[in-house]
Amino acid sequence: MNISDAESTVMEVLWQRSPLGADEVVAALAGAQDWQEATIKTLLNRLLKKGAIAAEAEGRRYRYSPVLTREAWLTQTSRGLLDRLFGGRVAPLVAHFGEQKALTRKDIAELRALLEKLDGQR
């Protein structure tokens, strides 16, 4: 399931708190995004068509809930990025950040601990 950046912003609202009506999603995004109500409703409809969210009728309005979990989306998105940019390999990704000096000492320590943990599981 391909979720755009704009759609993921709406999903973040629903992952944090749901079910929500469209008006509640609009209110939640009011401070963070400069989107019109129609834009948010369009994004909700796109997510609904993709099966990322479900809508339940409540009187004259719908309440939206995520079907796609944040964890599943993160896995799919990160896997796609890794495949596209680094041939599916993690080591070149880490090397890239290391070469760009984007890794702090704390990041390196956490990576070492993670590698030791993963190595112990194999």
| Claim to verify: residue 31 and residue 17 sit in the same structural domain | yes
CATH number at residue 76: 1.10.4040.10
| Claim to verify: residue 42 and residue 78 sit in the same structural domain | no
CATH number at residue 41: 1.10.10.10
Domain that holds residue 21: 5-66
Q: Give the pLDDT confidence of 4-44 residue by residue, as tens digits.
A: 999 999 999 999 999 999 999 999 999 888 899 999 999 99
| Claim to verify: residue 61 and residue 75 sit in the same structural domain | no
Domains held by the chain: number? 2
Q: Which residue has the tokens 């995520």?
A: 66
| Claim to verify: residue 84 and residue 100 sit in the same structural domain | yes
| Cβ-Cβ contacts under 8 Å for 89 (sequence gap 6 or more) | 82
| Claim to verify: residue 74 and residue 36 sit in the same structural domain | no
| Claim to verify: residue 34 and residue 77 sit in the same structural domain | no
Residue-wise burial string across 78-114, b where 16 or more C-beta atoms lie within 10 A, e elsewhere: eeeeeeeeeeeeeeebbeeeeeeeeeeeeeeeeeeee
| Claim to verify: residue 58 and residue 12 sit in the same structural domain | yes
Quick check: helix, strand or coil at residue 107?
Answer: helix
Distance CA 117, CA 122 (A): 9
| Claim to verify: residue 95 and residue 82 sit in the same structural domain | yes
Residue 121, judged by CB atoms within 10 A of its CB (0-12, 13-18, 19+), counts as exposed
| Cβ-Cβ contacts under 8 Å for 104 (sequence gap 6 or more) | none
State residue 106's pLDDT score: 93
Taking the whole predicted model, whether its pTM rises above 0.85 is answered as: no
